[in-house]
Amino acid sequence: MEGSVAYDNDLNLKATELRLGLPGTHDERQEQQQKQPVSNVRNNKRPSGESYGQNEAAPPPKAQIVGWPPIRSYRKNNSQPKKTDTEGGGIYIKVSMDGAPYLRKIDLQVYSGYPELLQAVENMFKFNIGEYSEREGYKGSDYAPTYEDKDGDWMLVGDVPWEMFITSCKRLRIMKGSEARGLGCGV
């Protein structure tokens, strides 16, 4: 077993370092320990290049970091009246697939339309959905993506306009086999 090893601090970790920063920004805090007047610090921006007065452009909007700050999802909307089905602005729904022993959760607002959504779901569960047509549903695969709407009915994904879909979808289920084919035809 290796004992204590002398470490040099010159490991070039930047090459593999995973940072949260927009491409092109460079975290300079370690090289610039200059003191700033106190008033400059009274902001919540991260100490990237911008706050050192080098970049005159307005800072880009803050990207929300996954899981930060570390609070449980049921605490996230405490400053507003109760909102169901939203978590910090997203529309989260559960996605299940017949035969898969696990569920996934996705935020519908992240997708701009059906093709993107279906691509993501295909990747999540490692299968192919087939080609959609209004008349015949999803051809070319044993699976059909369905969703439960506000009224509790199971509908085929793609039948209604996208905007209507994201407001009425409660959960997604990838059906398999004959059940799936039944939904596809003559709806």
Partner 1 sequence: MHKKMMFSFPDEVLEHVFSFIQSDKDRNSVSMVCKSWYEIERWCRRKVFVGNCYSVSPRMVIRRFPEFRSIELKGKPHFADFNLVPDGWGGYVFPWIAEMAGAFPWLEEIKLKRMVVTDESLELIAKSFKNFKVLVLSSCEGFSTDGLAAIAASCKNLKELDLRDCEVDDLSGHWLSHFPDTVSLVSLNISCLGSDEVSFSALERLVGRCTNLRTLRLNRAVPLDKIANILRRAPHLVEFGTGTYAADLRPDVYSDLAGAFSSCKELKSLSGFWDLVPAYLPAIYPACSKLTSLNLSYATIQSPDLIKLLSQCPNLQRLLVLDYIEDSGLEALASTCKDLQELRVFPSDPFGAEPNVSLTERGLVAVSSGCPKLQSVLYFCRRMSNEALVTIAKNCPNFTRFRLCIIEPRTADYLTLEPLDVGFGAIVQYCKDLQRLSLSGLLTDRVFEYIGTYAKKLEMLSVAFAGDSDLGLHHVLSGCESLRKLEIRDCPFGDKALLANAAKLDTMRSLWMSSCAVSFGACKLLGQKMPRLNVEVIDERGPPDSRPESCPVDKLYIYRTVAGPRFDMPPFVWTMEDDPSLQLS
Q: Where on the chain is the footprint of partner 1 (CB under 8 A)?
A: 1-2, 4-5, 7, 9, 11, 13, 16-20, 29-30, 33, 35-36, 38, 41-42, 44-47, 62, 64-76, 78-79, 81-82, 84, 88, 100-105, 126
Comparison of 54 and 79: residue with beta carbon closer to partner 1: 79
Residue 105 C-beta: closest distance to partner 1, Å: 5
Kindly state the helix (H) or strand (E) to which residue 167 belongs, with its residue range: helix 162-168
User: Distance between CA atoms of 159 and 103, rounded to whole angstroms?
Assistant: 24
Q: Please say which residue, 101 or 186, places its beta carbon nearer to partner 1.
A: 101
**Closest residue by Cα to residue 143 from 122, 165, 117:** 122
76 with 69: CB under 8 angstroms?
no
Q: Which two tokens stand for residue 44?
A: 């919540």
Q: How many CB atoms lie within 10 A of CB 145?
A: 25
Residue with Cβ nearer partner 1 (152 or 186): 152
Residue 98: both structure tokens together: 């017949």
> CB-wise, 104 or 139, nearer to partner 1?
104
Closest approach of partner 1 to the CB of residue 32, in Å: 10
* Residue 64 beta carbon to partner 1: minimum distance, rounded to whole angstroms: 6
